[in-house]
Amino acid sequence: MRSSTSALVASLASALLLARTACAQINLSPATNPSSAGSVISNTINPSYAGFGIEPSDLFIYTGTTSANQLTFNLLSNLANYTGAPPHIRVGGNAGDTMLYDQSVTAYALEQNPSASGQGNARPSDYYLFGDNYFKVMNYFPKNTPITYGLNLAYQGSDALQRIVQQAGAAFDNIGSGGNGSKLYSLEIGNEPDLYIDLGYRSSSWSPTDFGNEWASRAEAIYNQTLKSRGVSSDFFEVACTATTASKNGQPFRIANLVGNTQGVAADNGIYVAGWNQHDYYYYVGVSGYNLTMSLLLDLSQTVKQFGEWANQVGQSLVTGKPYYLREMGSVGPNGLTGISETFGNALWTLNFFFYAASIKVDSVQMHMTQYSIAAPWQTNNFNNQGPHVRPTYYAWAAWAQIIGPTCNAQIAPITLNNQPSSYNNRLGAYAVYRGTTLTSVVMINTQPYYSYSGNPSYQNFVISLPSLAGQTVYLSVLYANGVDSTNNVQWNGISYERSGTGQPTTVNGTQWTMNVGSDGTLTVPVRDSQVVVASTVRLGQEAVNTKNCQSFISSTAASNSGSGSGTGTSGGKPAPTFKSTTGFKSDLPLSMTAIIAIAAGGGVLLIALLGLFIWCCVRSCKKSNRRKARAAAILKAPPRHDDHPLLERDPAEESYASYPAYGGKSYEASPALKGWDSPMTSVSHQHHVLPSQSYNQMQPAYEYAPQYNQHTPQMMHSPAPQQAHFQHNYVQNPYQTYANSHSGHGYSQSGHSHGHGYAGGRAF
């Protein structure tokens, strides 16, 4: 373990000297301001952009019950510190379409419905009952955490409309009650309509028209009976669209199909739409038709290829004038793959995906979590022979949050790379980060797989043209682990989130690395395989929140014509914005025959065209009346059950066959999720406890090694003892590691003494 600043300086200097001898110089020229970046510039980044999704049946595992889960609270608070706002959380998924609200339920648990009668193959749509405490535990998240909550659309009993109105009302009454908890940002009506037939919730003839009528009937009722009296605007609902990994019949629920269908979620329903809510996984176990490897995951071109359908959907959302939210996402669904999901390689993929998605104008990303998922960025329960701990993937959120920063005016854009070596095709990426009109950071990503056991790594030189910064100093921040296979001992910007055992940040490498931009405006930065380096004009993670900018951003978002779902609208005196357009979609998205038939049967498009202008006008005059009747019929007509359908449920609320270790000497059935016990972290005594009543912006990182701005040995300081025995304490490592017997021809060299300055003006201070 290296423990002195001088040793770290020597290591960094030797790495910087590699820039002289590396085989290739990757050239990049970021635009100096957002207006020069072209069409690839992102929207202004919401400070809550990178968030999380929680399967509804697993909520208590992450929140705690009678007291807050400290691990969850601390990890979310870290991110709120860095951006000025907590990350966005979606509570939704397949399990949500099996849950009914019942005010008489007072336990911190889901109760099985003794008289369930709803349709459904795996579980009926009224299988579980829950009460007000389900919503109240969401207030254990940091204050003002934005929540998108999923309502049950699958249930079609005679009291379906009454039930969903009560469910929405309970969400408003309990989330953020007292002004100290989370805030309800939007409501999602139903989960993945293209699964409803396979899951037995609807008959085989169910079409986008039927979905549109049912969706609109619920939105209209909830607005009139719940939102209007609270002064909340009607555009508070998110529309679940196609989730192609789950579809066997083409993509009939694409955005263009829904708004182009005259009886679906059409123009008149735009006043209820806050945004489009779609789901994806890069790879889905049992659905994707190939075997995933680490090398394939880290091929950046494969992410772009896999996301092609969703990128086109983003384009369709822009036509409608409504934002696009990727509310359920992950590298591997539903619960990850061992050897990939719990490793540092997944952190590299996740961070790159945040940047890629923003660059194509995705407005928010929620990575999905279940209690069984090794892909979740942290674990709060006892599972897979491990107790609560932080996984490497969490560092992607920490890095993103510090890079975007707390100014609420950040935008990002990809940077074209030139002169890449052929062996690094699709392994290198770069993004420019702007704060307002100023280029603030350049993010350099190297996903060439490097394993911790494979010997000396290689470095690639990123030669950045920064004429506007000639002669200035930039700060380096590094996302680092021993290799892509590492499952612990990760660092971002010298910080560990594992070391404390509570999720609180511990500075384990207090040295601030800097470089000077040359007088010709050139900066050369070596980036190791399986590493991310960020060069910034500001010190990331140590900035104050720009309150004025953030208040302005929130206000402009709430008042935008796209409908923010912020809950700040009027009670109906002024109409909410409808769709910007329901036509003009690109014609390069061929519809399947199933989709064409569904739309034609539902909307009578061909018949209308043949009848001519006169009959068309008559139809238009009766449209509103007919639609109201169709919505009423959609509520009352329960389709027959189809119990012969195969089980396709993704993340069931309870899996008796799942591997769950003994908890407190009890069996799997005694796990916290099923009996409503406190999550393990809520009953553990921690040093330096941060309680939910404390403001997250008052949290300060603990130091294992104090930052020093000279050549002396850092002062040793104590930090809380780690809670997990599996932590290894080899934390103080230089991201530019010195390796013995190295050769300059491979981009690294041996350094046996301290350097105060390195190539290109690299220095520590």
Q: Are 402 and 540 in contact (CB under 8 A)?
A: yes
**Tens digits of residue pLDDT in 483-517:** 999 999 999 999 999 999 999 999 999 999 999 99
CA dihedral 484, 485, 487, 488 (to 10 degrees): -60
pLDDT bracket for residue 651 (50, 70, 90): very low
**Range with the lowest mean pLDDT among 148-152, 203-207, 335-339, 550-554?**
550-554
Q: How many CB atoms lie within 10 A of CB 345?
A: 28
Q: What is the mean pLDDT of residues 288-297?
A: 96
- Averaged pLDDT for residues 369-383: 95
Angle at 382 between CA 380 and CA 386, to 5 degrees: 100
Rounded to the nearest angstrom, the gap between the alpha carbon of residue 765 and the centroid of all alpha carbons in its chain is 35
Confidence band, pLDDT 50/70/90 cuts, at residue 23:
low
pLDDT band of residue 745 (cuts 50, 70, 90) is: very low
DSSP conformation letters of 426-466: TTEEEEEEEETTEEEEEEEEE-----TTS-S--EEEEEEE-
Query: Is the pLDDT confidence value at 635 over 60?
Result: no
Phi, psi of 461, deg, nearest 5: -85, 125
pLDDT at 269 over 60: yes
What pLDDT score was predicted for residue 574? Answer: 55
Q: Is the model's pLDDT at 442 over the cut of 60?
A: yes
| Mean pLDDT for the stretch of residues 12-27 | 60
Cα–Cα distance for residue pair 56/754, rounded to 1 Å: 54
What is the CATH T-level fold of the domain 23-561, as seen in this structure?
A: TIM Barrel (3.20.20)
126-174 residue pLDDT tens: 999 999 999 999 999 999 999 999 999 999 999 999 999 999 999 999 9
Closest Cα to residue 525, out of 398, 436, 417? 417
Please tell me the predicted confidence (pLDDT) of residue 575.
66
Which structure tokens are listed for 622? 């009766």
Which range, of 311-320, 347-356, 673-682, averages the lowest pLDDT?
673-682
Other CB atoms within 10 A of residue 162 CB: 13
pLDDT bin (cut points 50, 70, 90) of residue 455 is: confident
Residue 629: pLDDT over 50? yes
User: Looking at residue 335, what is its pLDDT?
Assistant: 95
Q: What is the DSSP string of 583-597?
A: S---S-SPPPHHHHH
Which pLDDT band holds residue 754 (cuts at 50, 70, 90)? very low
| Mean per-residue pLDDT over the chain, rounded | 77
Contact 363, 325 (CB under 8 A): yes
Q: Which residue has the tokens 């049950």?
A: 152
CA–CA gap between residue 275 and residue 278 (Å, rounded): 10
Q: CA-based angle 420:424:428, to the nearest 5?
A: 75
- Per-residue pLDDT of 578-604, as tens digits, reads 888 888 887 544 433 333 223 223 333
Q: What is the pLDDT of residues 87-96, one digit of tens each?
A: 999 999 999 9
Nearest-10 Cα torsion for 371, 375, 378, 382: 40
Residue 207 CB-half CA count within 13 A: 19
**Longest alpha-carbon distance in the chain:** 89
Residues 464-479 have a mean pLDDT of 97
Q: Over 50: is that where the pLDDT of 19 sits?
A: no
pLDDT tens digits for 209-227?
899 889 999 999 999 999 9
Which alpha helices (DSSP H) does 559-688 contain, by range? 593-603, 605-611, 613-636, 672-675
Phi, psi of 464 (to 5 degrees): -100, 130
CA–CA distance, 765 with 2 (Å, rounded to integer)? 17
Per-residue pLDDT band at 243 (split at 50, 70, 90): confident
> Could you state, in order of their start, the residue ranges of all structural domains in the chain?
23-561
Burial class (CB in 10 A: 0-12, 13-18, 19+), 248: exposed
